[in-house]
Structure 1
Amino acid sequence: MDDREITAKISELVDEEHKLERAHVGRALSEDEHAQMNALNVQLDQCWDLLRQRRARKEMGQSPETAEVRPDRVVENYQQ
């Protein structure tokens, strides 16, 4: 996946997240919807992490193609 494809995937995931949020204005998400929202957030974090890895590799003169999607347990434990 190249940077353009990753950016498109991020946009798609954000659209899904917003759609789910708009459908529940004024009421709580169901358990399944809450799980879906969490899954979207993990996928977003993974995509952003992958994009950052690719950009860092380019800046260092390395191939961005060596960047890999990191497991959710890794990207979800980053310190902000």
Structure 2
Amino acid sequence: MDTQTSGSTDRRILDRIGEMVAAERELRDLLADGRIDPESEQRRLRELEAELDQCWDLLRQRRARADAGDDPDQAAVRSVEEVARYES
């Protein structure tokens, strides 16, 4: 297992999370400015939240594998439905 490659993969996941958080803020600003309707904002927020949940889940899987001495690259993105079950 190449820890540098693993770290760069984790960094990419964290960067994507940051992008999605910024997109959430932008949606809220668009709504506040009246440049997007509430239904569109809510639909896109739900999509972003689902993808965020998947990214956080993948990052947790990777970290758990690394902590256990396993290959974090064997972690895989789980479906939105599967991730939602873990959060319930």
TM above 0.5, one fold? Answer: yes
Q: What band does the TM-score fall into relative to the shorter chain?
A: 0.7 to 0.9
Gaps of 5+ in 2: 1-7
- Segments of structure 1 that go 5 or more residues without pairing to the other structure are none
Cα deviation for residue 34 of structure 1 reads 1.4
Structure (1 or 2) with the larger CA radius of gyration: 2
Identify which of 69, 72, 76 aligns with 1:64: 72
Q: Which residue of 1 aligns with 2:22?
A: 15
Structure 1, residues 8-59: CA drift from partner, whole Å, max 9, x if none? Answer: 0000000000110122238795323211110000000000000000000000
Question: Normalised by the size of structure 2, how large is the TM-score?
Answer: 0.80
* Bigger helix share: 2
List structure 1 runs of 4+ shifted beyond 6 angstroms. Answer: none
Identify which of structures 1 and 2 has the higher relative contact order when contacts are C-alpha pairs closer than 8 Å and 6+ apart: 1
Tell me, yes or no, if the aligned pair for 2:31 and 2:38 is still in contact at 8 Å: no
* Residue identity (%): 40
